[in-house]
Chain A
Amino acid sequence: MAVSATNLEFDYSKYGFRNEENYLFKSGKGLTESVVRELSGMKGEPEWMLKRRLQALEIFRKKPTPLSGMWANPELAELNYDDIHYFVRAGERPQTDWDAVPQEIKNTFEKLGIPEAERKFLAGVGAQYESEVVYHSLREEWSRQGVIFLDTDTGLKEYPEIFKQYFGTVIPAADNKYAALNTAVWSGGSFVYVPKGVHVDIPLQAYFRINAENMGQFERTLIVIEEGASAHYIEGCTAPVYSTNSLHSAVVEIIVMKGGKCRYTTIQNWANNIFNLVTKRAVAYEEASMEWVDGNIGSRLTMKYPSVYLMGRGARGEVLSVAYAGKGQHQDAGAKMVHVAPDTTSRITNKSVSKNGGKTTYRGLAKVAPGATGAKINVNCDALILDEKSASDTIPFIEIEEDRCTLAHEATVGRIGEEQLFYLMSRGIGEADALSMIVLGFMEPFTRELPMEYAVELNRLIQLEMEGSVG
């Protein structure tokens, strides 16, 4: 039965367009010590940072590509580290005035609707194009209260003390090969500092865009939420489609002090030839709360396991994620919760859909360390496989070293029920619409946590991905 999808007016091509490459600086392909020195020198960085970079480069070289094992993927063999530009500078320096951003780059973000969104509902916006942030702004009411929202390069220059205190403390370079790579060549990303007791109650947003072919983007984000403060950070990512692979390897470190709250939302819609290898980790102290809301739609291969280390009594962690894998895609996403302190709680909810030969993997760690008495963990993974070509893996690691705790893990895998389809179709809904209704319903626990604009966009993306799923 051939049924075509409806309600698909959403213009996907707006993500796929590409601009002419017209760069101020583009490093040669491949990663050498001189690339790192040059990059650091161009940024005018302090000596300690250059040292860190060079140490990390050594670690990156020594660590093997993780092709087999617990947190590994054979598909990483497709990555050629020598065929990547590690640093591309597109604009002079981050602009705070939208009009000062180069026209071509401005066009890119105009097409993506960034300034429009800023006017509507954001407290601050950052836009990164290739290696560096080209635009950054924060509403005055927040800057007056001492909130810092800068690109990370500027953050390092203007707030060296805060930076030195926290940089690399949550995710050391030796954590994994790609964290080492990021530490060696990081550029751009966001630096957020929310002082004690300040509540930034509308979201801060960053948008990441890769435009050049064979480009490696290595943004580095550092978020510090002081005692009793709160913030919500949103990031979106896109890239045009080229025939060769690009690499996106970010590191995100978050520190949430006593009683603080942080939510970090990602909508990842990279082109289908981007390797998205990201390390995201937060530490939450006493009574603090950390939430990762993570949506993965794009990329060739995503490997991302947002983590929360619950370090203080009563801290709370949550990861809510969805993954959608279509043709040629592998979404290997998950979560890690490490309970170190007593009375800490965490919840992991993962929903994945695979279709048209795509593969989803949930990989997770739930750990209760000795002494974390009264810890409670709840893990739920649901996978939906839409056709016989697609696949789904669930690999949860559970490590319990304390008796006074409770952990519950539950996973289901299934196909779309004929009964559900029949029910909807008997009410006059076409098969394609019925299918996409069921998928959107399946993901609803995730979408309802997004700001409205994002929820609408995500639903449209998924509907679009669903196009032609019946045949």
Chain B
Amino acid sequence: MKTFPTLAELSDTTILDVSQAAGEPAWLAEQRMAAWRFFAAAEPPFWRRTDLSKFKAEQIAAAIGASATILVWERDPAGQGVVFAPLLQALHTHEAVIRQHLGTAIDSQRHKFVALNAALWQDGVFLYVPQNTAVELPLTAAFTMPAPGDAIVARNLIILDHGASVTFVEEYRSDAGAGQAFAAPITEMFLGNDATLRFVTVQTWGEDVYHIGAQKARVGRGATIEWSAVNLGARVQHVEAETALEGDGSRVEWVAATFGGGHQNLLTAPWLRHIGAKTEAHMDFKTVVKDQSYTTFDGMIKIEHQSRATVSRLEEHALHLTPKARSDSIPGLMIDTNDVARAGHASTSGEVDEEQLFYMRSRGIPRDDAIHLIVMGFFEPVLDRIPTEALRQRIAEMIEAKI
């Protein structure tokens, strides 16, 4: 596999050369160079709850070319005018719409890793669904770490025109290897008026991977995003995810399942912004921890001054299976208006409910089986949203194996 030089040796001229060799437009080369300059100068972010103490940035050599991106569908949607192709490839056919959207949801200068992605992305997918087009069957972009110790930098751009609807699945997986591997994906999503996106993001890397990513959806008037996240793999995960309910009447249903085991350090930082009038959000985040793992839910719901009649509800629950695991929850709220219809959150942490266990055991279910059932039941709202049977099965098996 062809790669960039390691981050210690890489320079902007190499980035320019690679961009030009691939026949990329000049504006993109300029974006990459600007992001690289920011990356080179910026201080490493100080993340209190993400352990990067053993992370060796200088060793990273990011892949060139989109060989880790695998697109999967049951029925080719191209006949409906849908574009579903590697982003690098789509640049040749849909440059204008890509240029208009790329980097407009997530600021490339947010922090060092976002800039790194903007400078070096090669993998990733472009999905465009035309106006009033409904894609029935799910479209999947699967990213597989080519070999242990590799680094992939993926950029996904998802655009739904007015009234469009689609299910998009992004999946990250690899077998555990020996050395440090690295993934820095960014997914930007744009929902036109009355569009519906079912977004499923599944992280099941092997235990050698540092996964540092960002995701953001900008949701238009009357549009709905159903966002389901599963976080099972990686040694360290740091994902900043954001839904911006910009249009009046836009909605999000956001569910997540995180399971930390071994020495995993998994952080999810969901941001939810209510901007339009009568926007509505329901969030349900579930976390299970065991062994010496450490998970963090670092969330924020911001109800902006210009919003009106907002409804926002967050549920966030952590289940501890063994004594030494740690879970942190920071369910923040920032409310800049009094025009709120309903806003609140609830958070609980604790062990498996002894009463539930007792109930099951009194019906002849052994304790271990009962715990399995309780954990699977705990994650069920998320599992129910996984659109393909095969993926749901695979996730369920991984969860079972972790328990």
Interface of A with B (CB < 8 Å)? 70, 368, 370, 373, 383, 385-388, 390-415
Contact = CB atoms under 8 A, between A and B. Distances in A.
Contacts of B337: 385, 388, 391
Contact of B350 (A392, A405, A413): A405
B305 A412 contact: no
B338 A387 contact: yes
A370 B323 contact: yes
Interface stretch (B121-129, B188-196, B340-348): B340-348
Interface string B319-346: 0111111111111111111111011111
B351 interface: yes
B143 to A, nearest CB: 32
Interface residues of B, number: 35
A403 B321 contact: yes
A386 B216 CA distance: 32
A98 to B, nearest CB: 47
A388 B348 contact: no
Contacts, number: 122
Interface of B: 48, 303, 305, 318, 320-340, 342-351
21 contacts: A385-B337, A391-B337, A393-B332, A393-B334, A394-B334, A396-B329, A400-B320, A400-B328, A403-B321, A403-B322, A403-B323, A403-B325, A405-B320, A406-B349, A406-B350, A407-B350, A408-B347, A411-B344, A413-B303, A413-B333, A414-B342
A414 B305 CA distance: 14
A247 to B, nearest CB: 27
A130 to B, nearest CB: 38
A399 B347 contact: no
Nearest to B333: A394
A398 B330 CA distance: 6
A370 B335 contact: no
Contacts of A386: 338
A412 B305 CA distance: 18
Contacts of A411: 331, 333, 344-346
Nearest to B327: A400
A405 to B, nearest CB: 6
Nearest to A387: B338
B234 to A, nearest CB: 21
Of the candidates B321, B325, B329, the one having the most CB atoms from chain A within 10 angstroms of its own CB is B329
B333 A403 contact: no
B197 to A, nearest CB: 28
Given A385-B335, A398-B331, 16 more contacts: A385-B337, A393-B335, A394-B331, A394-B332, A396-B330, A396-B331, A400-B318, A400-B320, A403-B322, A403-B350, A405-B320, A406-B348, A408-B347, A409-B345, A411-B331, A412-B344
B346 A408 contact: yes
Contacts of A368: 349
A403 B343 contact: no
A413 B330 contact: no
B324 A370 contact: yes
A397 B330 CA distance: 5
B340 A415 contact: yes
Nearest to A397: B330
A397 B305 CA distance: 25
B331 A388 contact: no
Nearest to A382: B344
Nearest to A392: B335
Contact of B330 (A390, A395, A401): A395
A405 B327 CA distance: 12
Nearest to A415: B338
A400 B303 CA distance: 28
A256 B130 CA distance: 68
Contacts of A414: 340, 342-343
Given A403-B325, A404-B323, A388 B330 contact: no
B31 to A, nearest CB: 29
A180 B320 CA distance: 38
Contacts of A402: 320, 323
Given A391-B336, A400-B326, A407 B349 contact: yes
